[in-house]
Amino acid sequence: MSGAEFVPLSLTPLLIGVFAAIGCALPGNFLVLRRQALIGDAISHVVLPGIVLAFLVTGAITTWPMMIGAGGAALLSVLLIEAIRRLGRIEPGAAMGVVFTTMFAGGVLLLERTDTSSVHLDVEHALMGNLESLIWLDARGWGSLLDPVALAGLPPELTRMALTCLGVAAFIRLFWRPLKISTFDEGFAQVIGMRTGLIGISLVGVSAMAAVAAFDAVGSIIVIAMFICPPAAARLMTNRLAAQVGWSVAFATFAAVLGYVLAGYGPLWLGARDSVSAAGMIATVSGLILAVAALFGPARGGQQA
């Protein structure tokens, strides 16, 4: 394939997919180890009412109000889960189930009650994202990467996703030691004076930020899959946290690239005419990676490990 076709049509979706995958997989490592893996699932469900509300308030699909709405909804859900867990003395899993299903139901109801026929806002869009449509129309080929005029036309999602990914990576790098210690031995972390509650909340906050940014660009399936599958597969490869994070980044990148290529070109190779959902295919590939790791991973272990 020539650059003239690849750069405008595939380069930006591919990069956005990769950044989204890495941005979610990085905090996912700690969530998986802390047995909070389903937080990604919960967050990606609860952002729907936030986004619909933002649309109702502003009357248009604009990025920042939607991000604020989604972030607010994510924050509200975390508070609600905690409140229900404490006030009702209910186990966290069930409390989470109560909150995210209810907020999602509220979002669906709001969506049905509002006239969104004029804009592209529906549940399927929220689930699947529109990775394929994030193309770079101004590009003419590889040379456009050095052309400021063409660069100005880059889809804003790319910049946002890249910045989010960088931010998440910086958070993990800066707080590596507290995160690591409080994840593996919370009691010890408290004894040496770490504020484990604060660390836990910031981790959830950073995850929510990554989820909301990725959700806007690529839909919620990738978010849930990337929070869990690459870190889980990486966990089966090694016993060292640093190596696990490395593996998870590699797996996330691989899943994003292979998934995108398979979705875009796989059906053509098989003789079909149309491509399939890239978000779905990326999730599927990440699942296959996890399956391979679960069958052959050197540190797959049993329950005793």
Partner 1 sequence: MLWQALTLQLGYNATLVAIGAMLLGIAAGVSGSFLFLRRRALVSDAISHATLPGVGLAFILMVALGGEGRNLAGLLAGSAISAAVGLLCVQWLTRNTRLAEDSAIGAVLSVFFGFGIVLLTVIQTMQAGRQAGLDSLLLGATAGMLRSDAILIAAGGALTLVLTLILRRPMIMVAFDEDYAAARGLNVRQVDLATMALVLAVTVVGLKIVGLILIVALLIIPPVTARFWTDRTARLWLLSGVIGGLSAYTGAAISASAPQLPTGPIIVLTSFALFVLSLAFAPGRGVLAAVLRHAAFQRRVHMRQGLLALAQGQPIYERYTIRLLRRAGLARADGVATEAGRARAAKALLDENRWDILRAMPDHEAAAALYDGMRPIETVVTKDQLTEIDARLPAPREVTA
Catalog residues that contact partner 1 under the rule CB under 8 A: 32, 35-38, 40-41, 45, 84, 87-91, 93-98, 101-102, 104-106, 108-109, 112-113, 123-124, 127-128, 221-222, 224-225, 227-229, 231-232, 235-236, 263, 267, 272-277, 279-284, 286-287, 290, 294, 297, 299-303, 305
Nearer to partner 1, 7 or 55 (CB): 55
Contacts of 22 (CB under 8 A, 6+ apart): 165, 169, 249, 252, 253
In the complex, least distance from residue 134 CB atom to partner 1, rounded to whole angstroms: 17
Nearer to partner 1, 139 or 252 (CB): 252
Angle CA 92–98–99, to nearest 5: 90
C-alpha–C-alpha distance, residues 6 and 142, integer Å: 9
In the complex, least distance from residue 82 CB atom to partner 1, rounded to whole angstroms: 14
Nearer to partner 1, 15 or 43 (CB): 43
In the complex, least distance from residue 294 CB atom to partner 1, rounded to whole angstroms: 5
Which helix (DSSP H) or strand (DSSP E) does residue 214 occupy?
A: helix 196-218
In the complex, least distance from residue 36 CB atom to partner 1, rounded to whole angstroms: 7
Residue 174: phi and psi, rounded to 5, are: -65, -40
Locate all alpha helices (DSSP H) within 89-195, ordered by sequence.
92-113, 123-128, 148-151, 156-174, 176-184, 186-191
Nearer to partner 1, 150 or 293 (CB): 293
Nearer to partner 1, 5 or 112 (CB): 112
C-alpha–C-alpha distance, residues 61 and 70, integer Å: 13
C-alpha–C-alpha distance, residues 246 and 235, integer Å: 11
In the complex, least distance from residue 198 CB atom to partner 1, rounded to whole angstroms: 23
